[in-house]
Amino acid sequence: MSPSRRGASATLFARAKRILPGGVDSPVRAFAAVGGTPPFIRRARGARLVDEDGRSYIDYVMSWGPLIHGHAPPRLTRALADATSRGTSFGAPTALEVDLGQAVRALMPAVERIRFVNSGTEATMSALRLARAATGRDRVIKFAGCYHGHGDAFLVQAGSGATTLGVPDSPGVPKAVAADTLVARYNDLDSVAKLLRSHRRRVAAIIVEPLAGNMGVVPPVPGFLEGLRSLSTNHSAILIFDEVISGFRAGPGGAQERYGVRPDLTCLGKIIGGGLPVGAYGGRRDLMNHVAPAGGMYQAGTLSGNPLAMTAGLWTLSQLSPALYARLARLGTQLAEGLADAARTAGIDLQVNGHGSVLTPFFSKTPVRDYESATKADAASYARFFRGMLARGIYPPPSQFEGWFLSGAHTARHVDETIEAARATLRSMRRRARR
């Protein structure tokens, strides 16, 4: 069935556009980059979504990453029901915050102190403010194509939805704020070194996705993260790893464990809330002691550390295991190799970047290793591929520049079904291209 066929989702989308900007609360959900009407989701369980028209899909969005155990695991939903019965928010400390903080630190030792917030955007904004407070400097280096939420300082050559919609620089960002944001090239240490030399003793922080996921999945080349660590130390700048996507996805200790590089500050989200709204920033004890009330750098949030998100995060982290990561890696390899083979068979150029349970197929002739090469991928071909997959019961991200996420609820059979759908879709694309 065509995803654009008018039904319950189409009716809801028409209603939504009369009350929500563009009909959505997060831009990429509008399907502007891929066309058609977005399915409105009624329910989900395991690896599958069901929309308001009753259509079922194998899901590779997984709420954009946090659902590493799949949708609505029964033990998690029971834990949340139990927590809800005791209250949803207190505006006061709870033992759950302490327990989750200790669980994060046990897995990620660089996080000596942690502050919970309500989103990844809050985490990155707060970490940047902390870096400026600790160094007395104003400027920050980010990387083209890396997305760190919608804070003003980060909407300069941003990835994710900004790239998807073709507006990487947002109106409304003050020029003075943009002037303090310096942009380097991902996987290019020389570009970072030049900025640090040109702005000597003025750079407060270098912020990076250690495993880029918002220009599509782009792993760091050997030596890149180690080089950032060295440059940050030599120039007395704070190294911030934005692990909102990679944290507990790349491995039990995040990308920093996987690549053996210890940042000064880490931003987290997604998985540590088990699918509920959450974020966190943490790191070196001396830096975190600048945060109020321990220090003078103010940051607060009424719902921060709320018992529902903390409960979901504790359950999610407690279920991580070497067996889970090994299984996800096998499924990720199976899917990546299957997509690549389907494209070769159809005679279509495709590069598949991946790490463990997250990957991106780029419609490109050449390898993708940074923002420039990512944006050369054929987004129009991805849009056709997306629509074909959706019509065949597969729900990939509605953007060329996002990651596909696997979960513990996915099986080899789900992946086989996905590869067969990809074969059929790519063959159809090739036939149409020959006409």
236 — phi, psi (to 5°)?
Answer: 55, 35
Peptide bond into 293 cis (omega under 30): yes
Q: Are 223 and 187 in contact (CB under 8 A)?
A: no
Rounded CA-CA distance 412/423 in Å is 16
- Determine how many CB atoms are found less than 10 A away from the CB of residue 224: 20
How do beta strands 203-208 and 238-242 pair?
parallel
Q: How far apart are the first and last CA of the chain?
A: 23
285: buried, middle or exposed (CB in 10 Å: 19+, 13-18, 0-12)? exposed
Pair of tokens at residue 375: 């944006």
Question: Active-site residue numbers?
Answer: 147, 242, 270
Strands (DSSP E) contained in 210-259 are 238-242
Work out the angle between the directed axes of helices 95-107 and 307-318 (0-180°, nearest 10): 30
Using alpha carbons, list the distances in angstroms from residue 141 to 123, 131, 240.
17, 12, 10
304 — phi, psi (to 5°)?
Answer: -60, 135
206 — phi, psi (to 5°)?
Answer: -115, 120
Q: Are 58 and 405 in contact (CB under 8 A)?
A: no
Q: Are 289 and 112 in contact (CB under 8 A)?
A: no
353-381 b/e (C-beta count within 10 Å ≥ 16 → b): bbbbbbbbbbbbeeebbbbebbbebbbeb
* Segments in 265-378 forming alpha helices (H): 285-288, 307-318, 322-346, 371-375
DSSP letter at 400 equals T
